[in-house]
Amino acid sequence: DIVMTQSPDSLAVSLGERATINCKSSQSVLYSSINKNYLAWYQQKPGQPPKLLISWASTREFGVPDRFSGSGSGTDFTLTISSLQAEDVAVYYCHQYYSTPQTFGQGTKLEIK
């Protein structure tokens, strides 16, 4: 199984500041023949299901604010929120869909400082 490890486990950032969450996979999730990373980021607010923010490591879903961006390839990935807003308080998960079983990071809890 591919193990997904996020850092940090929790993060407190001031409003308007940058938030950065890292995700490392135990094996590459890059499908080299099509040059795509099978890596997604989700946002989960209390009492709600996960919401897909970014797929293929860096493709923002329709309607997701452009302050959210994803980067990385192979085994190392980053989710960046360029200017934190109050509504961004949530738990963020990375997720690999490269192989079965699909696996998730342990989550990063993002709060306002």
Residues that bind another protein (CB under 8 A): 38, 40, 48-52, 55-56, 61, 93, 95, 97, 100-107
Token code pair at residue 46? 């209390």
As measured in angstroms, the least distance from the Cβ of 97 to another protein is 4
- Quote the least distance from Cβ 22 to another protein, whole Å: 16
User: Ramachandran region of residue 57, left (φ > 0), alpha (ψ -120 to 50) or beta?
Assistant: left
CB of 74 to another protein, least distance (A): 17
Task: Please enumerate in sequence order all residues whose Cβ is within 8 A of that of 15, keeping only pairs 6 or more positions apart, or say none.
Answer: 84, 85, 86, 112
- Parallel, antiparallel, or unpaired for β 76-81 and 68-73? antiparallel
CA dist 94 → 8, 12, 15, 32, 42 (Å)? 12, 18, 23, 20, 6
The CB-of-101 to another protein minimum distance in angstroms stands at 5
**For residues 13 and 107, which CB has a smaller minimum distance to another protein in the complex?**
107
- C-beta of 1 vs 17, nearer to another protein: 1
Which residue's CB is nearer to another protein, number 72 or number 107?
A: 107
As a whole number of angstroms, the distance between CA 48 and CA 91 comes to 11
Nearer Cβ to another protein (27/83): 27
